[in-house]
Each structure stands twice: as C-alpha cells, then as structure tokens.
Amino acid sequence: MGRIICVANQKGGVGKTTTAVNLAASLANMHKKVLLVDLDPQGNATMGCGVDKHDLELSALEVLLGEVPARQAIVPSVESLFHVLPSNSDLTAAEVRLLEAPLRDKRLGLALEAIKSEYDYLLIDCPPSLNMLTVNSLVASHGVLVPIQTEYYALEGLSALLSTIEQIRTHRNPALELEGIVRTMHDPRNNLANEVSSQLIGHFGNKVFRTIIPRNVRVAEAPSHGLPVMLYDKSSRGAISYMALASELARRHQPQTQNLTDPAQT
C-alpha cells in the first residue's frame, strides 16, 4: 500500500515544489513507484516534471470534482520516471466549488484510494496557503513533509503549520503524522542559518532529516528546462542531496526486522 505524503508549508518560497519534484524523481531513481500529485493551481510541479500545464486534457480539477477517476488524468513525467496528476490555474475553481460539495475535505483521499496500492509513494505538492486544497491533502495523507528554509521567520511559520496539522489530526485524520522537516536552501557559511538549523534539531529531534538541501544554482535552473535536477545535472550538489533525502526517507519506512538468533537476545 502506497504511503501518501503531502509536502506542505504555509509559507511560500521555502523550496516546497522543488522538494516535491526532486524527491519524486529521486525515489523513482531508486526503483520506487511514485505518483506526484500537483495540487497547487500555479502548476509549477507539473511544469517541473516536463508536463505542459497549458496543454492538459484532464487535471486534478476534474478528479477533485469527481468528474473522472484519478487514473484517467495521470500522465508520465519527463523520461517516464514517475507518474504525475497535473494541474494548472483551472484548479482555482475547485477551491470555490468544493466549499459546497459533499465530502468536500475528503475528495482527494477518495480519489487516491482506488490507485494508492499501485505506488510505493504518493507525494502531494500543496499550495502555500491553508485552503480547501491543502485541507484535502492533509486529510488524504499519512504524513506531512515540511521543507523549511533556515532563516529568521522559519520557526514562526512552522508553528502555524504544526497547529494546523494537529487540528486536522483531531477532527479529520487521526492517522496524520509529521513525516519530517527538511532544511532547504541552506548556506553553512551563514551563522543565522546554522543557528536556526540547531534550533530545529533542538525542538524536533529526529523528526528533522539529517540530509540538508544546500543553495544550489543547478536546482534553481532545472525547472526552467522542465527537468528534475537529477536529470538536469546528476552530479550537482543539489541532485546528490535530494538522492540522499530519498534514501533517508525510504530507510525510515523499511520494516524493522529483528534477528531472533541474535546473541543479545539470549
């Protein structure tokens, strides 16, 4: 059964979409079956996967409104590395129409239920705000992965997101958990960045991924070519870091087996 992880942060400009796209590509490179769900009306994740958001026959909009099953709207990413449920600005209409729809906060979860067994990971790129699309993502997910830039206002924004997660867990999705926190656009030469990084570890312990995503020009350039960074420049620091993040995430979900003949047991 696939693990559904939404990549969310109510603060924009923290590398949310970049993390969603590159984590999907890196997991796929590890031979995991991956679906990336673009639930941001900006459609940046769609474009970053090599899919033209201006030329979509079907998108996440029709899926959320129950007009087509998710499988019908899914398309392959560049080089068919993984699958994409794409979106574009049409998705803005869903925010309004879902307000009056039955089961309005469960539409995405119901749509993914029919296909989640076909994937190892289903990653959802959320909008950078708390709206009905983000709520649908949180209600549908097993975990929330939070990209966070190591800067002054980072902890304040994180506090608001954690409060939202707790509300969703209490009232809508008791299985929801914090998947982890990813430090992005990190510059180790910056004392403040290092201080914020230390504070995150102090507050959240092993919920902070050990992998740190550095500031990297190749990561910034890749979306303009419609490519994940591992296809744009696999030897770049950014590509190597996202591969490390994917490996760390996958290790967290490996079953913990114990050798029954371990001498420590006797």
What does the pLDDT look like over 197-225, one tens digit per residue?
A: 999 999 899 999 999 999 999 999 999 99
Per-residue confidence (pLDDT) for residue 264, from 0 to 100: 42
Would you state the pLDDT for residue 255?
65
Summarize the confidence of residues 70-86 as an average pLDDT: 97
Give the integer Cα–Cα distance in Å for 174 and 169. 4
Average pLDDT, the chain: 92
pLDDT of 266:
35
Say which CATH architecture domain 3-251 belongs to. Answer: 3-Layer(aba) Sandwich (3.40)
Is residue 133 over pLDDT 80?
yes
**Is 262's pLDDT higher than 50?**
no
CA distance linking residue 112 with residue 203, whole number of Å: 33
* 3-state DSSP assignment of residue 220: helix
Tens of pLDDT, residues 155-203: 777 888 899 999 999 999 999 999 999 999 998 888 888 998 999 999 8
Stated as kind and residue range, the H or E segment containing 26 is helix 16-29
Residues 6+ apart with CB under 8 A from 233: 218, 222, 239
Q: What span, in angstroms and rounded, lies between the C-alpha atoms of 155 and 145? A: 15
C-alpha span between 127 and 129 (Å, rounded): 5
pLDDT at res. 45 = 98
pLDDT interval class at 153 (50, 70, 90):
confident
Q: For the residues 9-20, what does the mean pLDDT come to?
A: 90
Q: Structure tokens of 92?
A: 């803005």
Residue 32, pLDDT score: 97
Q: Is residue 208 a contact partner of residue 180, using CB atoms and an 8 Å limit?
A: yes
Residue 243 has pLDDT above 60, yes or no: yes
Residue 257: per-residue pLDDT: 40
> Looking at the DSSP assignment, which residues form a beta bridge with residue 75?
84
